[in-house]
Amino acid sequence: MKFTLKIWRQESPKAKGKLETFNLTDVSEDMSFLEMLDMLNEQLVTEGKRVVEFDHDCREGICGQCSLVINGQAHGHNKHYTTCQTHMRSFKDGDTLFIEPFRAKPFPIIRDLKVDRSSLDKIIQAGGYISAFTGMAPEANTINIHHEVSESAFDSAACIGCGACVATCKNSSAALFMSAKVAHLAKLPQGQVERQERVIWMVNEHDEQGFGSCTHTGACAMVCPQEVQLIDIAHMNFEYNRAMAKTM
């Protein structure tokens, strides 16, 4: 297979970026999208040119690092996929592919396709944790959690923090990411100690980092690799209103 790649190149956060065109041939249909970029970088190294920088880690759809916009869609055209799970056989031979970084004010570009997503970490640092008492671990069977509750909490906890929801939202809202963390801990007895303060701390940090408001278009859930549901946003709004009412 052969492809024409139009890739965003930017030397530094403050530099002016642009799309550069590359031609790639002999691409195997079984290659993942990131393996195709590896192939391009090997070609650039051979030619003595600077490689294209992009984020990656596990390449198994778990870490959430492969933050690319492919043909205008976060992670590409396949629903609920990460970029590393996308294979070249899902494109047509001879296609032109536009490859850009996630674009959002809280995600400043570091270089080329790499963005700084530490703003998501700061939301977690604000309240995405639990208090645990020191000493011997309690017997697990003494904490009764209904199966449906544990399954629901696990579904929320599946969020990998990739930021695709932010890149897709027209307001660059991180509501789906944040709500997954809030809902996960609010559903479990271990998360009750900070339950009231947690959602206020995290929402305030979300706004301070420059993320926009949620307008419930549902675009975020459409691209989420882990299929986190919009109901978590409703759960977060309930938790926030509940906490605010108790502080008044």
Q: What's the CA gap between 51 and 123, in Å, rounded?
A: 32
Reported as half-sphere exposure (CB side, CA atoms, 13 A), residue 90 has a value of 18
Q: What is the DSSP string of 80-141?
A: T--GGG-BGGGS-TT-EEEEEE--BTTB-EEETTEE--HHHHHHHHHH------SSSPPPGG
Tokens, residue 35: 């393996």
- Overall fold of domain 117-247: Fumarate Reductase Iron-sulfur Protein; Chain B, domain 2 (1.10.1060)
For residue 221, the tally of other CB atoms under 10 A from its CB is 18
Asked if the model's pLDDT at residue 43 lies above 80, the reply is: yes
User: 152 — phi, psi (to 5°)?
Assistant: -65, -40
Binned at pLDDT 50, 70 and 90, residue 183 comes out as: very high
- CB-based contact 94:2 (threshold 8 Å): yes
* Gyration radius of the chain's alpha carbons: 20
- Taking only the tens place, the pLDDT of each residue in 63-93 is 999 999 999 999 999 999 999 999 999 999 9
Which pLDDT score is estimated for 142? 80
For the chain, the first-to-last Cα distance in angstroms comes to 63
List of long-range contacts for 125-129, beta carbons under 8 Å, 24+ apart: 125/205, 126/201, 126/202, 126/204, 126/205, 127/194, 127/197, 127/198, 127/199, 127/200, 127/201, 127/202, 127/205, 128/181, 128/182, 128/185, 128/198, 128/202, 129/194
Architecture of domain 3-111: Roll (3.10)
Distance CA 47, CA 39 (A): 13
Residues 138-175 have pLDDT tens digits of: 777 788 889 999 999 999 999 999 999 999 999 999 99
Do residues 240 and 203 touch, judged by C-beta distance below 8 A? yes
Average predicted confidence (pLDDT) for the chain = 95
> Domain extents for the chain?
3-111, 117-247
Q: Would the CATH topology of 3-111 be identical to that of 117-247?
A: no
What is the token pair recorded at 16? 């002016």
The secondary structure of 117-130 as a DSSP string is -HHHHHHHHHH---
| Residue closest to 26 by CA, chosen among 39, 9, 12, 41 | 39
Structure token pair of residue 183: 């809902």
Is pTM beyond 0.85 here? yes
Q: What does the pLDDT read at residue 15?
A: 95
Closest residue by Cα to residue 5 from 81, 90, 79, 98: 98
In which band, very low, low, confident or very high, does the pLDDT at 209 lie, cut at 50, 70 and 90? very high
